[in-house]
Structure 1
Amino acid sequence: MSSAVLAVDQGTSGTKALVICPERGVIGSGFAPVAPRYGPGDSVETDPRELLSSVLDAGRQALADAAEPVAAVGLANQGETVLAWNPDTGEPLTDAVVWQDRRAAPLCAALAEHDEELTRITGLPLDPYFAAPKMAWIRRGLTTDGVVTTSDSWLIHRLTGAFVTDAATAGRTQLLDLDEVAWSPRALELFGLDGERLPEVVDAAGPVGTTTAFGAPVPLTGLLVDQQAALLAQNVTEPGGAKCTYGTGAFLLTQTGASPRRTGSGLVSCVAWRLGGETSYCLDGQVYTVASAVRWLTDLGVVSGAADLDPVGSAVPDSGGVVFVPALAGLAAPWWRGDVRGSLTGLGLGTGPGHLVRALCEGIAAQVVELASAAAADLGRPLTRLRVDGGLTRSALLMQTQADLLQLPVEVSALPDVTALGAGAVARLGLDPALTLADAVPDGRPSAVYEPRIGPDEAAERLGRFRAEVTTLLERSPDAPRVP
């Protein structure tokens, strides 16, 4: 019998699938793009049928590439993306409202007096980034029919007929009691969702159902939200370790162990995974626009794509005084100011594409430094290194800038597609409960380690310019920042 598994990472801009053999590593791969639609009023939507077809296409490509059967399937998902759908037919009733969508902001404003209570119950601050505000927005403005869930539950139902979500994905809704790891009646009441039929909350590893979507019947045995899948694949399984994924956004997670750690720094506390009924927790911080900010520069014609960052940015020695706060969809952790928009200052007649690229890299890296500093404050000790993954880690300029501003070594994963590898790891654990985490998680050394090339004084000066600009943006807005 085959011991390989099919690992599927359904992401914002595409779906990646890998066939992973425990002895030979990745033996097959596939990819299918997804095209989110960015519209007026901070709307971001995707056709759910495109999400499903991308899963099927990428999975079938990977299986054809491997040219051998698999024993199980694992699925990672994009977390806070939601839709309404008919549980009898499986047909979508709305488009998928993507995690970046901000149209639920007025709903959150109306619930502002309950922000502290919701944060205490769920670990998450009241923000349209999370799933519950989007679910309530769909119910109030689009449809009251069917069920409204995160996208993983719909995909799982289409693949197997089951109606479930894993504990970590449930933890991204703002409807999960963080301590009980069960749906919170109070949170449901506050969002007006107390009459909803919700999926069963299950472990990340274990049989969910059987799918024939990829050919012969095969069990679905692994489920995990994307960033936690990357945390697992990066082998950050002990308290104090941290990883950052650079994708559409940037996501820094640090493991906190068997107890949730309430945070005063602006990071969110959430479930890392639940395995064998035992829950591990993490702290999570987000930068909303990273690869999407690169795409913005590309659309303006400054670069032709992410591959241009290094050659264009390396043509100049520094940013030339340009400061870029790439808050093109608002500021996430630790500020939680979705109303704030980005800024580009310090422009002059001599400003060229290279300066804009360097300023963008500094803006992304500076926001990650803020997340790392918040994590260190919550943990009570400084981070000693940062493990990183994601498409933009291919940019040596961005990674060197990150190490310089962070003043710590930045270790780039040698394993591409770590989110899919995390989905594969939980699929293997679900297939063989005798395996340990150490058995299931791939062991890899970094492909590159970036050490700081500047001293702490210069790093502090560059960070100071960025922070001053963020302060200016916060002061321009009528709302006071939640986190000082």
Structure 2
Amino acid sequence: MSNTKYIGALDIRATTVRFHILDQEGNTVASSAEKFRLLHPQPGYVEIDPDMLWALVVKVMWDTFTESGISPKLITGLGISTQRCSFTTWNVKTGRHFHNIITWEDLRANNLVKQWNSSYQTRGLRIGSRLIYTFFRAQRYLLMSGFKCTNAQITLRLLWALQNVQELQDEAKKENVLFGCIDSWLLYKFTGRHMTDVSNAAATGLFDPFHMNWSTVMMSILKIPRGIFPKVVDTSGDHFGVTHRNIFGVEIPVCCSMADQAASLFGSGCLNAGDLKITLGTGTFVNMNSGNKLHTSLSGLNCVVGWRIGSELVYMIEGAWNDIGSIVEWAKQIGFVDQLAETVDIANSVDKSAGVYFVPAFSGIHAPINDYTAAAGFIGIGPTTEKAHMVRAMLESIVYGIVLSYEVIGRETYHFRERIRVDGAVSANDFVLQLLADLTGLRVERATNTEKMSILGVAFVAGLHCGVWKNKEDVYKLRKVGKIFTPNIENKMRYLPMINHWKEALERFGRWYTDLN
């Protein structure tokens, strides 16, 4: 037992806290998980109680130690993976939070988003950046020329909090406020240090990926106090510190903190430029490792940091649709299906969707269309339409959305790709993955454990730092493929006209809420 090295991996997902203990072979030897409740104090508001989350994190970790019999002192290092862009603020003197965690799904700043995107100030920023880029060809100005606020970014939700939470306003004037996403909040509770890694910072909309620090431009424009932001550090290292002894009885070194999609990219073995993975969970995230090159996209793709480990800086291109998990849950709620697994048989019970198309736009249509006023719904329903046609259309829409992002990545980058690695709950659906292989023409590889990639990612990064593994080649060998889906060119040709009709459906449902008002 004394020669065994264990790595702890903590993962905070959309509604779940998970903790795994992994051995040197990358196997989970013990784990626990519990769901937490999202709060909806008003329509469009989505919150998490920070104290409840912290208590649940400690409980889940203790449960794992207790039930497995593995002492906390045997944990060589801890890695933390967290959902991005969910934040809170707290008092630097007391540690007490000023408001609940405002999650990435929250829409309270929607009016601010509309106002800022149509403001003369934002338009001036875009026009000015475009002119500067014309003369100097600097990529940062090309990126700013397409600047647009979104609800998913923290930017205007933080501004909303500063404008609407009175105690936060008062203490900000006294410089008593700290801001952080879930990663920063947990690090503060674990170690007392106020910091974040580059992968979490880069997703906020308040980070300058060229200077690799918080954006002084955005702070100046929005008048957000600079002193509230955490220190930005590497994804792994000794800088995170150790957990307070009174939590687990020993000090556990925190060796890694990482955003969930970056962790999933690493855990999926996408370690080289051009490697591609897709997470099909609460949302759909199409991520490509773009190496040490920051890709500037005017199509709405997100260009963020994957990880920075010493001298290695890896960027990541991302296309995201937020509504995949919502589609599945909605289908359950209205009685279309009982479980995700049965949708495969239902979809395959008919050979086509018979002219029925579904637009998955509960929170708008994402890149490359970027229409957040679009509506969700079915089109093409007739008197002979069956439930199977509608279920099939819903599953097809998941793949169609991925194909839109994939096509943009293909146009804007020049890497050769032969496979897609997939994870997330919806990746257990064979119908979706086979259609994905057919329409992209790429081999689709599903891992043996579809829910574990972010866990593996932070475990591998933490373990590399503390010497459990020597190099990335060692951890790459530990990834296990469960099933491979190979493309069928005949099916692709059959689907091409249907994809074009679906794109027409997107146009029909576009700008619905703008036109309605």
Distance 1:413 1:471, change over 3 A: same
Q: 1:457-468, aligned counterparts within 5 Å?
A: 457-468=493-504
Residues 330-339 or 197-206, more deviating: 330-339
CA distance in 1, matches of 2:482, 2:468: 31
Distance 1:321 1:4, change over 3 A: same
CA distance in 1, matches of 2:8, 2:433: 30
2:44 equivalent to 1:42: yes
CA distance in 2, matches of 1:121, 1:433: 42
Contact 2:21 2:29 in 1 (8 A): yes
CA distance in 1, matches of 2:66, 2:425: 24
Distance 1:361 1:473, change over 3 A: same
CA distance in 2, matches of 1:153, 1:315: 48
Query: Which sections of structure 2, spanning at least 5 residues, go unmatched?
Result: 130-140, 172-176
Residue 505 of structure 2 aligns with which residue?
A: 469
Query: Larger Cα Rg: Structure 1 or Structure 2?
Result: 2
CA distance in 2, matches of 1:352, 1:90: 56
Distance 1:440 1:92, change over 3 A: farther
1:253-289 C-alpha deviation (Å, 9 max, x unpaired): 1011112111133211111111014321111110111
TM-fit CA distance, 1:313: 2.7
CA distance in 2, matches of 1:326, 1:39: 25
TM-fit CA distance, 1:119: 7.7
2:448 equivalent to 1:414: yes
Residue 148 of structure 1 aligns with which residue?
A: 179
CA distance in 1, matches of 2:315, 2:145: 12
Contact 2:375 2:513 in 1 (8 A): no
Q: 1:102-141, aligned counterparts within 5 Å?
A: 102-112=107-117, 113-114=121-122, 116=126, 120=143, 125-141=148-164
Distance 1:122 1:410, change over 3 A: farther
TM-fit CA distance, 1:434: 8.3
TM-fit CA distance, 1:214: 4.0
TM-score by length of 2: 0.87
Contact 1:30 1:60 in 2 (8 A): no
TM-fit CA distance, 1:381: 4.7
CA distance in 2, matches of 1:131, 1:161: 23
**Code of the aligned partner of 2:143:** R
Question: Which of the residues 322, 341, 345 maps onto 2:379?
Answer: 345
CA distance in 1, matches of 2:102, 2:385: 38
Secondary structure of the structure 1 residue equivalent to 2:241:
strand
RMSD (Å) for aligned C-alpha atoms? 2.4
Residue 357 of structure 2 aligns with which residue?
A: 323
Residue 482 of structure 1 aligns with which residue?
A: none
Contact 2:375 2:510 in 1 (8 A): no
TM-fit CA distance, 1:159: 1.3
Question: Which of the residues 50, 54, 57 maps onto 1:52?
Answer: 54
Contact 1:19 1:66 in 2 (8 A): no
2:215 equivalent to 1:184: yes
Residues 97-106 or 231-240, more deviating: 97-106
Secondary structure of the structure 2 residue equivalent to 1:257:
coil
Contact 2:179 2:230 in 1 (8 A): no
CA distance in 1, matches of 2:6, 2:390: 45
Residue 31 of structure 1 aligns with which residue?
A: 33
Question: Which of the residues 259, 263, 275 maps onto 2:293?
Answer: 259
CA distance in 1, matches of 2:352, 2:56: 40
CA distance in 2, matches of 1:61, 1:261: 43
2:463 equivalent to 1:428: yes
**Code of the aligned partner of 1:128:** N
**Code of the aligned partner of 1:414:** T
Q: 1:6-85, aligned counterparts within 5 Å?
A: 6-23=8-25, 25-38=27-40, 41-68=43-70, 69-85=74-90
How high is the sequence identity, in percent, across the aligned residues?
24
TM-fit CA distance, 1:13: 1.6
Question: Which of the residues 97, 100, 105 maps onto 1:95?
Answer: 100
Contact 1:9 1:77 in 2 (8 A): yes
More helix by percentage: 2
Contact 1:6 1:19 in 2 (8 A): yes
CA distance in 1, matches of 2:405, 2:261: 15
TM-fit CA distance, 1:65: 4.4
Question: Which of the residues 241, 250, 259 maps onto 1:209?
Answer: 241
Question: Which of the residues 372, 391, 406 maps onto 1:357?
Answer: 391
Distance 1:126 1:321, change over 3 A: same
Residue 446 of structure 1 aligns with which residue?
A: 481
Distance 1:44 1:339, change over 3 A: farther
Distance 1:314 1:52, change over 3 A: farther
Contact 2:343 2:391 in 1 (8 A): yes
Residues 78-87 or 307-316, more deviating: 307-316
Residue 282 of structure 2 aligns with which residue?
A: 248
Residue 472 of structure 2 aligns with which residue?
A: 437
TM-fit CA distance, 1:64: 3.4
Secondary structure of the structure 2 residue equivalent to 1:216:
coil
Secondary structure of the structure 2 residue equivalent to 1:7:
strand
